[in-house]
Amino acid sequence: MTTYIKVPCSSANIGPGFDVIGLALNLYLELEVTVTRKDSSEHSLNCRITYEGVGAEDVPLVAEDNLITRTAVYVLRCHGVRAFPSETHLHVKNPIPLGRGLGSSAAAIVGGVFLANEVGNLKLSKARMLDYCLMEERHPDNVAAALYGGFVGTYLNELSPEDTERLEIPLSEVLPQPAGGVDTGLRPPEPPLNIGHYTKFNWSPAIKCICIIPQFEVSTAKARAVLPESYSRKDAIFNMQRLAVLTTALGNPTPDPDMIYTAMQDKLHQPYRRGLIPGLTEILQSVTPQSHPGLLGICLSGAGPTILALATENFDSIANHLLNEFKKEGITCDWKLLSPAEEGTTVIRPSATSSNAGEALTYASSGVSIDAGNQLVKRIKASTASTRRPGADGEIGGFGGLLDLQAAGYTDAPILVGAIDGIGTKVKIAFEMGKHDTVGIDLVAMNVNDLVVQGAEPLMFLDYYACSKLDVEGAAKFIEGVANGCRQSGAALVGGETAEMPGIYKEGEYDAGGAAIGAIKKGTTILPDTASMQAGDVLIGLASSGVHSNGFSLVRKIVETRGLSFHDTCPWSEGENIGTALLTPTRIYVKPLLAAARRGLIKGMAHITGGGLLENIPRMLPKTLAAELDAKTWPVPEVFKWLKSAGRLEHTEFARTFNTGLGMVLVVSHDNVRTTMDRLQEYGEQVYVVGQLIKRTDEDCIVQNMDVWG
């Protein structure tokens, strides 16, 4: 029987909220707990520990020494159970940096309390679990955030003298040896009831957290030792004033950068800790909302050394600046873009999926939020309405999308054309970069470009968005991108589906699909018109905007094998990073191609998607003809030159994977070449004569002079 416990990391203080406020973030300690039928084993305290992730070389794997299992044993012994009741295998997966100010010890303690609750079947409420956590982690900000999730404010009760007499489990930073181990008394002291209290504040979905993580540790004890025993009234008032404003300001749907930046200043802990973190004051003062638009505020995360920057956009620019500031001090850092973990610690049991021990189950407790879905619909209505066109009003929220063909200009029954497609693994880069609008454009482009090659006018579009937990802000950005693509192509966004599916997708990830419906007027030639094609017809290529939306599994592999991050400076383009460059959206060719097709200039079109030139061009040709292209006739974008070189791609592999710089290839008669090119250029397209049709022998697509690709 295996149970899964998932505990978020956390950031404490958030500027002026020293020892008061905490924020759970979506980087998780995961405990995989397997209990056998055996009552005992040769392992210490009847528990075998395995571990992967951060700290694997240093974290003790003996139950008496490991913080998670020592915590669990303390809770069990408070209930008269000396060790794990049945043989237990605890497998720990930890991505949380240790000793960096991201609540690694709080996550371990909360995980240990939940572990005891599960193996001992204790049925503790979350409020009681908080009491046990606070017997070890004296300061409630991190543990309350990790336990309950979200953005929390906390305080502790004043304890009576009798509650503090026994010191085997003292109120301290870390559970010391031998507490929880073999030398602990038969019945260790149970925590008083309701030691700590918390409340949840609102958090604007627009705000993300940039975590700059230096590659050195600052112990909590050392960070506490530099603090004074008392503070001036002036400094105390300074922090209290800002804290009162900050907890409300961070929940506003439209955050105020100037207010938040000022409200995140502190005089109680950061000034005293600057000696522990080289350049701290200068680094914190090096960015402002004016110097870096999108920044809201910056502070130490917990005791440090991690720096927490709150922002609504330009995450890479802000992060790269801070990384460079640390470099000036000779300090190497990693960075992560994180979001609040609203659900807190969750438990998945073999027979149930509830994170609320002892509480009634709800759809929300299983991981699906109807409220978040409703919030998203409200958020995107303006975007969808902006796509209205004759015959479709762009309204959403009904059970289906409607289109009036006559109002759309089709008085006679037209031929309807449908297309369905997705984005592929390009979304993995969107996750990494925290940028979701451009892949929304990609989704539309992949569909409407497939419609237009048949001569169809896109009329309506529907999208499908599936995720583990709905991030309203990220999803709204994605739909805004979809609406942008619809406006470019003239299609109305008439509906869609948002699916929350916990356990199917990783936290913070999603997949999307779309379907477009278009029409061809009665009596109009459906493309490709293979009957009219003949040897000598000319191939015209339209420039792509880059990689578009195909081949990204290979792209990501090339970046990985070169030891690069998507946040690194772009090798082929100055002034931007790899991820941002690769997220350039797919070009939408609908309007120029329809204009040319309606004049009878085009015999066939091929949308160059997965399969590249070699697989897609033959799809528009009759079996008697082949395409012959000359690679010298169009420029290859710098991104493709780098990918081909860095991946050591053979010419044929390159041509059958990527568009190589051509997003569309057309067949036109020799007499119509100039007219067609002029028409397309009027719409801003870059066009090239790239080849011709020839009689087919063995191959259906031949690319000459591929050596120019290098």
Residue 160: the pLDDT is 66
Cis peptide leading into residue 528 (ω within 30°): yes
C-alpha closest to that of 590 among 509, 490, 496: 490
Say which CATH class 208-338 falls into: alpha beta
C-alpha closest to that of 184 among 47, 72, 68: 72
Q: Strand pairing of 346-348 and 2-13?
A: antiparallel
Tell me if residue 80 falls in helix, strand or coil: coil
Between CA 30 and CA 93 the distance in angstroms is 5
Distances (CA, A) of 70 to 22, 45, 54: 24, 10, 19
Using an 8 Å Cβ cutoff, are 10 and 106 in contact?
A: yes
Tokens 């690709």 correspond to 709
Tokens 């059970």 correspond to 399
- Location of each CATH 3.30.230.10 domain in the chain: 2-201+341-348
* DSSP codes joined into one string, 100-131: SSS-HHHHHHHHHHHHHHHHTT----HHHHHH
Using an 8 Å Cβ cutoff, are 198 and 154 in contact?
A: yes
Distances (CA, A) of 667 to 87, 581, 643, 688: 71, 31, 29, 12
Q: Which residues of the chain have pLDDT under 70?
A: 40, 159-186, 351-359, 394
In eight-state DSSP terms, residue 513 is E
Region 528-710: CATH code:
3.90.650.10
Residue 286: the pLDDT is 95
C-alpha closest to that of 341 among 29, 20, 15, 13: 29
Residue 544: the pLDDT is 98
- Location of each CATH 3.90.650.10 domain in the chain: 528-710
- Location of each CATH 3.30.1330.10 domain in the chain: 368-526
> Which architecture characterizes domain 2-201+341-348 according to CATH?
2-Layer Sandwich (3.30)
Residue 177: the pLDDT is 42
Between CA 676 and CA 275 the distance in angstroms is 69
Q: What are phi and psi of 563, to 5 degrees?
A: 70, 30
Cis peptide leading into residue 305 (ω within 30°): yes
Tokens 């998945």 correspond to 348
C-alpha closest to that of 273 among 308, 222, 238: 222
| Whether this model's pTM surpasses 0.75 | no
Tell me if residue 125 falls in helix, strand or coil: coil
Residue 192: the pLDDT is 86
Residue 502: the pLDDT is 87
CATH 3.30.1330.10 fits 368-526, yes or no: yes
The 3-class secondary structure across 333-392, one letter per residue, is EEEEEECECCCCCEEECCCCCCCCCCCCCCCHHHCCCHHHHHHHHHHHHHHHHCCCECCE
Q: Tell me the torsion sign for CA atoms 30, 107, 314, 151.
A: positive
Using an 8 Å Cβ cutoff, are 98 and 55 in contact?
A: yes
Residue 449: the pLDDT is 98
Between CA 32 and CA 50 the distance in angstroms is 10
Between CA 576 and CA 627 the distance in angstroms is 37
* DSSP codes joined into one string, 460-502: EEEEEEEESS--HHHHHHHHHHHHHHHHHHT-EEEEEEEEE-B
Query: What is the number of H-type helices and E-type strands within the chain?
Result: 21, 21
